[in-house]
Amino acid sequence: MAEIKKLVLGRKIVEDLDEDQELPSELMTVNMGPSHPAMHGTVRIVLTVDGERVVESDVQPGFLHRCFEKESEYATYTQIFPYTDRLNYISPMINNVGYAMAVEKLLGLTDAVPVRAQYIRVIVSEISRITDHLTCVGASAMELGAFTPFLYFLKAREWLFELLEELSGARLTYSYVRIGGVVSDLTPDFHERLIDLLDKIDGVMLEVEALLNNNRIFRDRMEGVGPFSAEDAIAFGLSGPVLRACGVDYDVRKDNPYLVYDRLEFDVPVGSAGDCLDRYLVRLEEMRQSSKMLRQCMRDIPAGPVIVDDPRVAMPPKKEAYNTIEAMIRHFKHIVDGIRVPPGEAYTWVEGGNGELGFFIVSDGTGRPWKCYCRSPSLINTQSVSKTIQGHLISDIVPIFGMINMIGGECDK
């Protein structure tokens, strides 16, 4: 549909009607969601449809609101890590890292984080990025009727979850990162297992690409659906794979390298049409690039401590805490009062699974943040949905929404 017709009191102006093309129809309002299999998480779209075409839409997120920002004001800096896990729960490690970096910036510890810890943070972030994209691509394919890629990709995701579970103790909500480093070192056979898994996942990706890339149904549903121009994407503040699919070469890891990303060799894939197919292809390529980065990290990671040696920030070893009063007090103050962060404000931004994930923290010098704002890419990317689906068929909402990859926990915060 070239242009959306003007509406007067919910009816088309009769003069605009092209009698040869369509029958006069009355507009109808329907709800898509909040509880709908294709509405990831819980989001409601109020659609005004003309037959099968979307004339207008009102996207209403917020059903999964957990008060992340407000809750953070009542928790110590360390207690916030579990909350960040639940933002984008498909790639919690990146949230952990992004949040920890904001606090470290306030503490002036950014450069003091041990190199090994920085490598570990990159490793877990990239593993999380792969799990994020596996889920997004797999689920979107399933919603278009291709169930096999979903099962293949979730099997692969499960391998990575198991690896991270071995590392952190939790399958999904890791809370593995700490301010000043990470909580524990890599497990002894982490290296071999990760490389082995990456090889296997490369195989799975080849299988899935063989199933999808030239699949007539898949391409028809993806190609040319929901295109977005680079200008519009920038105006909407989009970021991540959705932005890069529009041809904008922006990746926080390249343009503002943090941790050890400047030591790694990788490419940033960009699309051209900005449609759903491009978003899909960009995600697939990003998984390959992550895999490449992981192999480099495992090759280069140095030995050493995994958390900064600063008693203000790091907890004492358990053995000392149980046996000396000094370490006991330190442990106690860390748990009860929290890390004392000097007054000030800091913003850090990292490349999350869905785009630029930022944390803005204002400290008043106590053990808890005065304000902890999260720039969640899901929320900002979801803003574009209303514009993207305009004029498309109802069934196109499914791939468009799937490729935005809105994660309720992050979008609604």
Alpha-helix residue ranges (DSSP H) falling in 301-361 = 318-323, 325-336
Smallest gap from residue 114 Cβ to other proteins (A)? 19
CB of 75 to other proteins, least distance (A): 11
- Kindly tell me which of 322 and 347 has the beta carbon lying closer to other proteins: 322
- Examine residue 70 and tell whether it contacts other proteins (CB under 8 A): no
- Contact call for residues 177 and 183 (beta carbons, < 8 A): yes
In whole angstroms, what is the distance from residue 88 CA to residue 404 CA?
13
Q: Is 138 exposed, middle or buried (0-12, 13-18, 19+ CB in 10 A)?
A: buried
Task: Report H helices in 144-264.
Answer: 147-168, 190-212, 216-222, 230-235, 241-245, 252-255
Residue 317: CB minimum distance to other proteins, A: 10
Q: How far is the CB of 309 from other proteins (least distance, A)?
A: 11
Query: What are the distances in angstroms from CA 248 to CA 57, 118, 288?
Result: 27, 28, 19
Stretch that binds other proteins, among 61-69, 128-136, 269-277, 330-338 (CB under 8 A): 330-338
Nearer to other proteins, 157 or 368 (CB): 368
Q: Which of 213, 229, 323, 395 binds other proteins (CB under 8 A)?
A: 323
Q: How many CB atoms lie within 10 A of CB 195?
A: 15
C-alpha 227/C-alpha 109 separation (Å) is 42
Among 71, 209, 320, 345, binds other proteins (CB under 8 A): 320
CB of 361 to other proteins, least distance (A): 16
In the chain, the amino acid numbered 188 is P
Task: Report the residue number, 108 or 145, with the smaller CB distance to other proteins.
Answer: 108
Q: Count the site residues for other proteins by CB under 8 A.
A: 21
State the binding string over 361-390 for other proteins (x if CB under 8 A, else -): -----xxx----------------------
Distance, CA of 134 to CA of 154 (rounded, Å)? 7
CB of 50: closest distance to other proteins in angstroms? 51
Among 196, 220, 262, 326, binds other proteins (CB under 8 A): 326
Q: What is the DSSP letter of 401?
A: H
Q: Per CB under 8 A, does 322 bind other proteins?
A: yes
Residue closer to other proteins by CB (options 77, 176) is 77
Residues 74, 162, 304, 318: which binds other proteins (CB under 8 A)? 74
Looking at beta carbons only, is 334 or 375 nearer to other proteins? 334
Q: Which of residues 221-250 bind other proteins (CB under 8 A)?
A: none
> Please, how many CA atoms are within 13 Å of residue 157, restricted to the half-sphere of its CB?
22
Smaller CB separation from other proteins, 76 or 128: 76
3-state class percentages of the chain: helix first, strand second, coil last, to nearest 5: 50, 15, 40
Identity of the residue numbered 95: N
Binding residues vs other proteins (CB under 8 A): 74, 311-312, 316, 320, 322-330, 332-333, 336-337, 366-368
